[in-house]
Structure 1
Amino acid sequence: MPVLYWLVAMTHRKPLPRLLAATLGLGLPVLPWIAAPAIGRTLQVGADQAYKAPSAAIAAAHDGDVVDVAPGQYYDCAVITQNNLTVQGTGPGAVLTDKTCQGKALLVIDGANITIRNLTLQRARVPDQNGAGIRAEGGNLTIENSRFINDQNGILGADNPQAVIHVSGSTFEDNGICGGSCSHAIYVGHFKLLRVDHSHFMRTHDGHSIKSRASRTEVIDNDIADGPDGTSSYLIDIPNGGSALIDGNRLEKGPRTGNPANAIMIGEEGVDQPTDSLIVRDNHFTNDQARSTTFVNNITATPVQLSGNVFQGQVRPLAGDGLPR
């Protein structure tokens, strides 16, 4: 019926009141006009494209646009202020490297509902040793099939209690440093949710592979390994509590770890948010140290529900409240 209503109006071009009266006289339902959503543009980046650098295309983009980045190495950084923007590599080897914006990151994200896909973000350095591949300062953020290589932080998220960060299918190699403070492969502040799934973490240095202050943290089906050369502290750190689901991961603590005593730590910096549920299940954890380590050290009063985990090496499954012990 909306199509008929539009066709009658366009064919006869009657004033709306007369058309409405005619429609009512025919007994047809009167339905509100629903405007079609605007379709965003696609901005192309590459050596033979209008935009030679990702930052140029991002600066020209509007809300809802897509920035396609051709394979190549770009000594470039950008600040994303738009909403509903997608920035994606069009093939393997779309690399942003070495340059940081605002003294923060290769990509500083101030907009909401941003998707980053198929990019490599590497070698982020800033003087305070907190440089990131991505600095998340806006609203919801989705990161898919991307690589974070040799950054001080892979992803660093400022507090935003209403926002969600979802990382999927991505790789984190050789990130992290502890100088005046510590940087990590992923470090997010007080978000609504951090979800990390189907991703790979290798050779994190000094800091943690995943550190989350989110109200809820989900770590699902990932590989998180020190290997022989990684020096990470905790594999997963949830320092202020909050609900957590750690499910179906392959975890390994190596012989050069900077914190040999614990693999997963919960609540050690003070619980400042509701911690309704802590579930750690169906993970495979290997301790490659010559000494024993604790798989989960829980400082909160919420019992950890441990089930289906498989251990290799000298492992104490739990310290603190939890079932089974």
Structure 2
Amino acid sequence: MQRRALLVAASLAPMAVHAGPVLQVGPRRAVRTLAAAARQARDGMVVEVDAGEYVGDAATWPQQGLTLRAVGGRVSLVAAGAHAQGKGLFVMTGRRQRIEGFDFIGATVPDRNGAGIRLEAGSLTLVDCGFRDNENGLLTANDDSIELDIVDCDFGAIAARGGQTHNVYVGAIKRLAVMGSYFHHGQLGHLLKSRAAVNHILYNRLSDEIGGRASYELEFPNGGVAVVMGNLIMQSSTTENPHVISFGVEGAKWEKQALYLVNNTLVDQKPSGGIWLRVTPPQAEVVLANNLLVGAPKLAAEGHWTRRANFSADWDEFVRAARDDYRLKPESSLRGRAADAGEGGGLKLSPTREYRHPHTSVALSGPARHPGAFQS
């Protein structure tokens, strides 16, 4: 079962979903608001929402097999002080829910922990959604039956209201998969923090950017199984924490503890003192393979970790690092030096896609031969 879940998550991509009964929403429709649609929608429905701005239109969605889809352009939800259940713009509680083409903007709540989306139960797939100026982008409950898939989404910037706010905070859930997404401009909290039992972080960009003040770029505080492959991960010079990636620092909640860090381009823009990786559980399996390390830190590693073909790279190895183009130059001596990383957690540790800015991924035309996140 674990192998199947890993393979499904690794191949996750936007796809057509079955057409159920359709409920149309828009200012010129019979159903004008999302709050009204949430009251009227039934299990298995497709809620088609006309493009435009929906102000103060928060809602709770308990339906099973529900799809929310923007039609004719993007749907922008502007909080303007509104929230559902004191938690966020949308509260999702049903299984097999899907949201496509929505932007969540300005979520705030009295306890300063508001989110664009709160996933409280069930399972959710997000495709091509954006989150900005929220106290948190997305938060989940602690429920080991929840599953969350994120594809081609944009998380940033976080509202500057104080507190430990996060672009994405995933609780102790069953599974998280993130692909082709962009996390940026954090404020004190982490760009991506996950307590999930199984995590697939594939072909994304996590970069705090100029003026960002994120803590960790990527954290798994309770460990679990984490496959981190094909990502561009960049720490800003104004970071709140010297660590880029952290694993298990709050205790090993899950029985299986394994981190597979493969074919990533890791960039540290701190002048000094940065730390690539912090792993706490001594029993954790750790594989570091085919990563490119750009910046001052050295890659500290325990003796029992597996290490293959990890290279420190100067800025001039890349096409245009100053513009965040971290493709290796055609003449770079690092090209073609990737090693076979084997398998981990039931997944072959070799990229089949690469991140494409601003927030998507594209299939590779052949096998991955170079270290780092980019093969083209």
Q: Same fold (TM over 0.5)?
A: yes
Q: In structure 2, what is the equivalent of residue 224 of structure 1? A: 206
Give the structure, 1 or 2, with the largest relative contact order (CA under 8 Å, sep 6 or more): 2
Note the C-alpha offset of 1:217: 1.1
CA distance in 2, matches of 1:39, 1:94: 20
CA distance in 2, matches of 1:175, 1:117: 21
Q: Deviations over 1:180-232 (max 9, x none)?
A: x5221111111111111100111111110111000011111001111111100
Note the C-alpha offset of 1:248: 0.4
Q: In structure 2, what is the equivalent of residue 145 of structure 1? A: 128
Counterpart check, 1:72 vs 2:55: no
Flag the structure with larger Rg: 1
Amino acid at match of 2:267: T
Counterpart check, 1:62 vs 2:42: yes
Aligned length: 286
CA distance in 2, matches of 1:297, 1:195: 22
**Contact 2:19 2:46 (8 Å CA) reproduced:** no
Q: In structure 2, what is the equivalent of residue 281 of structure 1? A: 262
TM-score (norm 2): 0.73
TM-score (norm 1): 0.84
**Runs of 5+ in structure 1 lacking a partner?**
1-37
CA distance in 1, matches of 2:160, 2:150: 21
Identical counterparts, % of pairs: 32
**Contact 1:178 1:207 (8 Å CA) reproduced:** no
Note the C-alpha offset of 1:111: 1.3
Note the C-alpha offset of 1:107: 0.4
SS in 2 for 1:271: coil
Counterpart check, 1:117 vs 2:87: no
CA distance in 1, matches of 2:256, 2:131: 30
SS in 1 for 2:246: strand
Note the C-alpha offset of 1:176: 6.3
Q: In structure 1, what is the equivalent of residue 28 of structure 2? A: 48
SS in 2 for 1:59: helix
Match of 2:116 among 133, 136, 145: 133
Aligned ranges 1:69-218 → 2 under 5 Å: 69-75=49-55, 76-98=57-79, 99-175=82-158, 179=162, 182-218=164-200
CA distance in 2, matches of 1:222, 1:253: 14
**Contact 2:54 2:77 (8 Å CA) reproduced:** yes
SS in 2 for 1:316: coil
CA distance in 2, matches of 1:148, 1:314: 32
Q: In structure 1, what is the equivalent of residue 12 of structure 2? A: none
CA distance in 1, matches of 2:151, 2:299: 27
Note the C-alpha offset of 1:270: 1.1
CA distance in 2, matches of 1:110, 1:164: 11
Note the C-alpha offset of 1:177: 6.0
Q: Which moved more, 1:247-256 or 1:169-178?
A: 169-178
Cα gap change, 1:178 to 1:272, in 2 (>3 Å): farther
CA distance in 2, matches of 1:176, 1:323: 39
**Contact 1:58 1:67 (8 Å CA) reproduced:** no
SS in 1 for 2:227: strand
**Contact 2:288 2:305 (8 Å CA) reproduced:** yes
Q: Deviations over 1:53-76 (max 9, x none)?
A: 111112101000011111111111
**Contact 2:106 2:159 (8 Å CA) reproduced:** no
CA distance in 2, matches of 1:113, 1:215: 19
Q: In structure 2, what is the equivalent of residue 313 of structure 1? A: 295
RMSD (Å) for aligned C-alpha atoms: 1.7
